[in-house]
Structure 1
């Protein structure tokens, strides 16, 4: 069974081009599944049937996990068994018995524009670290990048003359995202005055680096955002993804088309982008309430 799981994880990396963190999530989910199968006396993939899948799903449901976690684990099982069928290790997919719990609909959390401006301008951009942090937050909001895309973004991916960033997204898909003039100006100051002091002659491809000149980690970006938000007086639960949500929401509020926002976000399916139209409708309702004579 272990060799089948290993082959699947290699498939996710080499053929699907999934991110390391995504693959790690699949590995954790499926190791639990393989362990459960082994305890039930199932040691080879060919022995898996609907009964084994249903038993594991019941065990998971009784463990008190959230609906979101259960749904993710069911998705991992489906992907794994689909792979086994494609490789002709299994004759049919036994995960048809899985019924994932219904998830509550949650709108993405976006900051109001005034709060974004407060965040970007509400802390002193002093010294190499301050200049870097201002450039990083401006760049995140200007491009709508995922934090994993930002930490892997190379300096050569930015065209300063054209004002574009060439980004490698999920599944190894490349997209070109415009960088606004304010973000570009902040990044140029960082490249000219701060980054050389941080890298200190080291050969580092990453655009944004830490105080040792190494690429920033995901956690490093989180800490920067939270520290600067606290200094700027921006309250509430914030994450780098909040700026991505704000990027999409503000573009739609400003009149951008759903297709354009889809392309800039790097969504392969427009239905993923459509969730932001609900946020936009909330904004329109507020506009109506404020300005309509009988609102």
Structure 2
């Protein structure tokens, strides 16, 4: 062949070009995660998961897909590897917080367990979300509403107005039994339709819907019944009393027919500020407070689990252990060995 002629080998050039493209754009081996997400959303809706849970799951899935695509990583059910999940979690730890990254990790684990399940089988190997990769979240001391703080908050709702009657009833029930925000605010009041009526003052209880959709009767103490009965009388004079099926009614705006969980959170923040307690408790804080108070006063874990409406004792431990040190300090204050010695009390 002459020196000025360059040999052309189309097979070699094609092979080299394909190899470079493969490194830049991963060749999918399974269903694209966007399609898997669409199917998962259908499955979640079929299971009737709570709207907040649905958004949390899908937000995590979308964030993970965005991360994979923006970094030219495999974005299909077969191609994603444990290292890709690990890198995503590390990014979230630095971008937000370990607690937020932990939520993403738990959500991804649910999603991939669904994809790897026998009935779905979109992945032929094990889930890339490994148990040992869960981020460690530093433990924080959980706050609870003290008796003194609760008294100050209740004092801000001591008038005879509709708003004060409503807010005092809500504040008392939250402190008494710790129902979830959506559970308490979606309580129905339909005396003429007993099947949908959730208020049983004579039985000292109200019915709420739990996170998974189950019905649950929340027990009420005598004070909760008293202030709730007082609110019901004020409710009867409300303009929406005969048209709204909801127990809790608003006082302004277009949503007066239903006082929602968002309104509840705003109310708690406003009352705390008026009381000058220095922080703004949430419905979640009241849930932890009720757990702490019941355990402190000797209630069993099984009883607390049933009062709060949890299906297992794990959540009792989750809330209770956070304040176990506080209960231990109170016990020590009552049984201090040094105090006993100083007082000359025999053992």
Q: What is the TM-score when the length of structure 1 is the normalising length?
A: 0.88
Is the contact made by 2:102 and 2:134 (CA closer than 8 Å) also made in structure 1?
yes
1:207 matches 2:247: yes
Is the contact made by 2:142 and 2:322 (CA closer than 8 Å) also made in structure 1?
no
Deviations 1:64-101 (A, max 9, x none): 32000111111111111111111111122121276122
Deviations 1:247-283 (A, max 9, x none): 1111111111111001112222312212415524423
Q: Distance in 2 between matches of 1:198 and 1:184?
A: 24
Is the contact made by 1:195 and 1:209 (CA closer than 8 Å) also made in structure 2?
no
Unaligned segments of structure 1, at least 5 residues: none
Greater helix fraction, Structure 1 or Structure 2:
1
Deviations 1:95-149 (A, max 9, x none): 1276122112234321222322332244333321111111111122222101121
| Dislocated runs of 4+, deviation >4 Å | none
Any residues of structure 2 matched to 1:62-141 within 5 Å, and which?
Answer: 63-86=94-117, 87-91=120-124, 92-96=126-130, 99-141=133-175
1:11 matches 2:54: no
Q: Distance in 1 between matches of 2:324 and 2:131?
A: 37
Unaligned segments of structure 2, at least 5 residues: 1-32, 190-196, 340-347
Q: Distance in 1 between matches of 2:158 and 2:285?
A: 22
- Of residues 228-237 and 86-95 in structure 1, the stretch that sits farther from structure 2 once superposed is 228-237
> What is the alpha-carbon root mean square deviation over aligned residues?
2.3
Change over 3 Å in CA distance of 1:277–1:69 after alignment to 2 = closer
Match of 1:274, SS state, is helix
Aligned to 2:309: 266
Is the contact made by 1:167 and 1:176 (CA closer than 8 Å) also made in structure 2?
yes
Change over 3 Å in CA distance of 1:229–1:4 after alignment to 2 = same
Q: Distance in 2 between matches of 1:30 and 1:102?
A: 21
Is the contact made by 2:85 and 2:129 (CA closer than 8 Å) also made in structure 1?
yes
Is the contact made by 2:86 and 2:133 (CA closer than 8 Å) also made in structure 1?
no
Match of 1:251 among 271, 276, 294: 294
Is the contact made by 2:92 and 2:100 (CA closer than 8 Å) also made in structure 1?
no
Q: CA deviation at 1:56?
A: 3.1
Any residues of structure 2 matched to 1:197-236 within 5 Å, and which?
Answer: 197-202=238-243, 204-211=244-251, 212-236=255-279
Aligned to 1:22: 53
Q: CA deviation at 1:290?
A: 5.4
Q: Distance in 1 between matches of 2:236 and 2:155?
A: 20
Q: Distance in 2 between matches of 1:166 and 1:11?
A: 28
Change over 3 Å in CA distance of 1:271–1:187 after alignment to 2 = same
1:292 matches 2:336: yes
Aligned to 1:173: 214
Q: What is the TM-score when the length of structure 2 is the normalising length?
A: 0.76
Change over 3 Å in CA distance of 1:228–1:7 after alignment to 2 = same
Aligned to 2:200: 159
Is the contact made by 1:151 and 1:217 (CA closer than 8 Å) also made in structure 2?
yes
